[in-house]
Amino acid sequence: MSSLVPYIGVLIRGAFVTLEISALSLLFSFVIGTLLGMAATSRITPVRIGVKLYVETVRSVPLLVLLFFAYYALPLVLGVNLSPYRAATLTLTAYAGAFMSEAVRAGIQAVGSDQWAAARSLAMNYRLTMLYVVAPQALRVTLPAAAGIFIDLLKGASLTSIIGFVELLQTAVNIRNVTFSITPLMAAGVLYFIMCFSLSRVGHRIERALQYGGH
Amino acid sequence: MTECILSVENLVKRYGAQDVLNGVSFQVIEREVVVIIGPSGGGKSTLLRCINGLEAFTSGRIRLDQLEVDASEPSVWNVRRKVGMIFQHFNLFPHLTARQNVELAPRRVLGLPAAECRQRAETLLSRVGLEQFVHRYPGQLSGGQQQRVAIARALAMHPSVMLFDEPTSALDPETVGEVLNVMKELASGGMTMVVVTHELNFAREVGDRILFMDKGVIVEEGNPRELLLNPRNPRTQQFLQAVL
């Protein structure tokens, strides 16, 4: 256990790297997810089909395979060479984006057509209705789901070590290779748990906050 | 000289293989209260939804206050500003308080200043007897209270015509009265109203004209007191016998 002490700082930095890449991917995927989620409810059929294709593809392929593809195959296919950091962020974003779009779509569709009818009868156009009537109600479904996606991202970030990205898990493995002790791996596990569990609690708090107001 | 404010001519709406509306024609003049009765599925709701452009129709013509109603044209928004609609299930915005429900459209659609919208909302809620409930959410209100908020919300847009789609059908019998009273007050204040309802007493007391609709056509129309006592058409007689 004492052999771990000099490495604690490094481990914590690794945790921060995991957090950073997850948060960044979450942010981007939220933007993409919102746009795609809205597109998924579009009246234009080709748009809806396009979104569905993207979502089903990403959801049906393991994250590990997506990571490999982004890092090893993209240079061959598109001539684009990505650093492990960029490949990792891109892949995590694309991955979470698919789930996020489903969360947004579910949120929008959870708001019944009666709300649209009422807004329309008050002469509120699409933009106004989305902004003031639908989005606030959709968030009640979308935000809790988004918290879950964030937790998945944090765990998924550990896979990025496979393409050479050094985050928490890889850091722990590196320390283990030096100290020949499994303690760093256990410490990494604890750090993962702390991050994910805290997020889960935040998610619950958000869910409860959205219930208030006699909805 | 009272003007014709709403004119429906040969309205047909086909939904797949079904003719929901099969050639409906009638006119409403200013300050008139027209009550529409009839069995479910007769096309009454669809008719209302066509009038304010919530639904498109297959053929025919609807004119409101010199505007042509065409759900596929951008001009339909002008129609929607002039027509207020009250729904059977109130359709209040659950995440907003009563006052916020009422002030939302004037603020964001008409662009009126916030203070004015707030003032008007409070006045309207007072008018329907809900000044104590301005800060309550719909989930904290009874059905009758929610429907009254809905009426205030529609009034906030200064409509020329108000459409009511079975406004009391989803209410407990005790709260039906409070909503009907608000509607009676609106009528005596000169609002032009088209009301789809099963409340025949309301039709008798407040209606200027009554239309009986079945299977997408107006079967009979006339003075409420006369028609309800002495329906001439056998289908009308059949319906009223079952209901009265």
pLDDT-based confidence at residue A3 (cuts at 50, 70, 90): low
Query: What is the distance between the alpha carbons of residues B12 and B201, in angstroms, rounded to a whole number?
Result: 30
- Whether A138 is in a domain gets the answer yes
Query: What is the distance between the alpha carbons of residues B152 and B119, in angstroms, rounded to a whole number?
Result: 13
Classify residue B19 by its DSSP letter.
E
pTM of the model: 0.86
Q: Which residues of A touch B (CB under 8 A)?
A: 114-115, 117-118, 120-125, 128, 132-133, 136-137, 213-215
State how far residue A126 is from chain B, nearest Cα, in angstroms.
11
pLDDT exceeds 80 at position B35: yes
CB-based contact B50:B21 (threshold 8 Å) = yes
CB-based contact B238:B214 (threshold 8 Å) = no
Share of chain B above pLDDT 70, in %: 100
- Whether A61 is in a domain gets the answer yes
Query: What is the distance between the alpha carbons of residues B150 and B79, in angstroms, rounded to a whole number?
Result: 19
pLDDT exceeds 60 at position B1: no
Q: What's the sign of the alpha-carbon dihedral B127, B129, B135, B138?
A: negative
pLDDT exceeds 80 at position B32: yes
pLDDT exceeds 80 at position A44: yes
Cβ neighbours of residue A214 closer than 8 Å, sequence gap 6 or more? B94, B136, B137, B138, B139, B140
- Whether A114 is in a domain gets the answer yes
Query: What is the distance between the alpha carbons of residues B14 and A9, in angstroms, rounded to a whole number?
Result: 72
- Whether A215 is in a domain gets the answer no
- Whether A197 is in a domain gets the answer yes
pLDDT exceeds 60 at position A213: no
For the residues A80-89, what does the mean pLDDT come to?
88
Beta strands in chain B (DSSP E): 4-15, 18-29, 33-37, 59-64, 67-68, 83-86, 161-165, 192-196, 209-214, 217-222
For the residues B101-111, what does the mean pLDDT come to?
96
CB-based contact B41:B68 (threshold 8 Å) = no
pLDDT in the model for residue A42: 86
Query: What is the distance between the alpha carbons of residues B194 and B179, in angstroms, rounded to a whole number?
Result: 15
CB-based contact A137:B94 (threshold 8 Å) = yes
pLDDT exceeds 70 at position A1: no
CA count, 13 A, side-chain hemisphere, B121: 25
Task: List, for residues A126-152, the tens digit of each pLDDT value.
Answer: 999 999 999 999 998 898 899 899 898
pLDDT in the model for residue A74: 86
Task: List, for residues B11-29, the tens digit of each pLDDT value.
Answer: 999 988 888 999 999 999 9
pLDDT exceeds 80 at position A60: yes
- Domain around A173: 2-210
State how far residue B122 is from chain A, nearest Cα, in angstroms.
18
pLDDT-based confidence at residue A179 (cuts at 50, 70, 90): confident
Whether residue B95 and residue A136 make contact (CB cut-off 8 A), yes or no, is yes
Q: Is A104 helix (H, G, I), strand (E, B) or coil?
A: helix
pLDDT exceeds 70 at position A212: no
pLDDT exceeds 50 at position A48: yes
Here the CATH number for the domain that contains residue A175 is: 1.10.3720.10
Whether residue A124 and residue B108 make contact (CB cut-off 8 A), yes or no, is yes
CB-based contact A174:A17 (threshold 8 Å) = no
CA Rg value for chain B? 18
pLDDT exceeds 60 at position B77: yes
The interface predicted TM-score (ipTM) is 0.92
Q: Which of A114, A121, A215 to mutate to test the interface with B (most CBs of B within 10 A)?
A: A121
Domain count within chain A? 1
Whether residue A123 and residue B109 make contact (CB cut-off 8 A), yes or no, is yes
pLDDT in the model for residue A121: 96
